[in-house]
Structure 1
Amino acid sequence: MYRLKLISPDFGIDDSGPLHPTQEQARKAAELMLHVYKGRLRAEVHKVDVKTRTSEKLEEVYIRLEVQN
């Protein structure tokens, strides 16, 4: 399972979203969040081991350093 982690200096870290069955679906969720949230944002995809409740960062999908109007 995969989870999206959103990191922003405005709201901190948000990893409370749903688990995604594939890495591609988590990446698509990151694209959606990038369009929804217009502030500074970094999105990471993490692989989650449900049994041990551990996660491993696989990739940084997007980094937006400046606010877009």
Structure 2
Amino acid sequence: FESVPTYPKADRNWQIVEQYKVNIFYTAPTVIRSLMRESIDLVNSHDLSSLRLLGSVGEPINPEVW
């Protein structure tokens, strides 16, 4: 993957999880921090019921993100 995770829209990750019924999703804490600045409505507007595990990779995760 080579791009900005919030391009073209900030809910790009959640669209992919919903569309492909992703059940394990790993991402960097930096991505989670950038998504935290967005409205919670971006998350709530998607069916994420397939998601079983959200993993953190690539760098230490701070308590606010955890």
- Do these two structures clear the TM 0.5 threshold for a shared fold by scoring above it? no
The TM-score with structure 1 as length reference comes to 0.29
More strand by share: 1
More helix by share: 2
The TM-score with structure 2 as length reference comes to 0.30
Considering Cα pairs closer than 8 Å and 6+ residues apart, tell me whether 1 or 2 has the greater RCO. 2
